[in-house]
Amino acid sequence: MATDKNIKPKVAVHKFSSCDGCQLAFLNMGENLLTLSTLVDITHFAEAGPVDEDTPVEIAFIEGSLASPDDLERIKHIRSNSRFVVSIGACATSGGVQALRNMANTKDWIAAVYASPEYIHSLDCSTPISDHIKVDLELWGCPVSSWQMLQAVRSLLFGAKPEVLNDKVCQECKRQQHVCVLVAKGEPCMGPVTRTGCGAICPAMGRACYSCYGPAEMVNPESLNQRFLGLGLLSSEASRRFLFINSGAPEFHKQGLKCKPASSDDGNLDG
């Protein structure tokens, strides 16, 4: 944190392969974003205007997964320029929806889509940020919420340990007195293995959770998979419940995802 009281801490928001939804969590803060801008200096946030990836910052928020060789070099540069690196959203924390291609032959997909595939430079796998550099905090969600971002900035800049929610969606449903869609309606709900943070929006509307906030603490995906089979789902249908938004999450790997990072030399670099 900056020691001169007249110098505001610097914050950057970087984008990699993603839909920009988690960056919108910043823009959707409304008045809180204006308040935040009086407390910190946002030096890089292309979607909001400022572009400067070279100035050292206190906190670098990273949205998106790494999907190209250029991404690998860029993320190392960001790590070396940042005191804290915070990965935000499913893409940055687990590889996101695009990690579904990890289960297929990426070169075949590219050849099927592009007329000149030789010009497409892509990694074999879409991987989370923590596979390549040291990450100080992960904020899960698809997308993350504005309160997660504000709480992270406040905690990191004041030397406090950021709060990380690990409760399951099932617990949130009980607190809000929602009827369990898995038990009452027999729907394949991911709530028993998914961390809360969304406010149990889907079960509140009477539909099954699809795990947009990723795996919770101490989950048992194999047992839930068996429960889905008991509901009458085919094995492939049950597996797809896990291999979706957070298919790259380690806790869900055993349900079918098998892919290693592009190079072991890129793992866990401190920058």
Q: Give the model confidence (pLDDT) of 207-265 as tens digits.
A: 999 999 999 988 899 899 999 999 999 988 888 899 889 988 888 877 654 344 444 34
With cut-offs at 50, 70 and 90, classify the pLDDT of residue 269.
very low
Nearest Cα neighbor of 138 from 169, 81, 92 is 92
With cut-offs at 50, 70 and 90, classify the pLDDT of residue 4.
low
Cβ-contact 251, 111 below 8 angstroms: no
Q: Is the pLDDT of residue 121 over 90?
A: no
pLDDT at 75: 97
Mean pLDDT of 39-61: 94
Cβ-contact 102, 122 below 8 angstroms: no
With cut-offs at 50, 70 and 90, classify the pLDDT of residue 270.
very low
Percent of the chain scoring above 90 in pLDDT:
56
Gap between the Cα atoms of 40 and 141, Å rounded: 24
Higher pLDDT, 31 or 179: 179
pLDDT at 136: 96
Structural domain 10-164, CATH architecture: 3-Layer(aba) Sandwich (3.40)
pLDDT at 15: 96
Higher pLDDT, 108 or 259: 108
CB atoms within 10 A of CB 183: 9
Least confident of 137-141, 207-211, 266-270: 266-270
Enumerate the domain spans of the chain.
10-164, 169-253
With cut-offs at 50, 70 and 90, classify the pLDDT of residue 26.
confident
Nearest Cα neighbor of 12 from 53, 47, 66 is 53
**pLDDT mean across residues, the chain:** 88
Three-state secondary structure readout of 35-91: HHHHHCEEEEECCCCCCCCCCCEEEEEEECEECCHHHHHHHHHHHHCEEEEEEEHHH
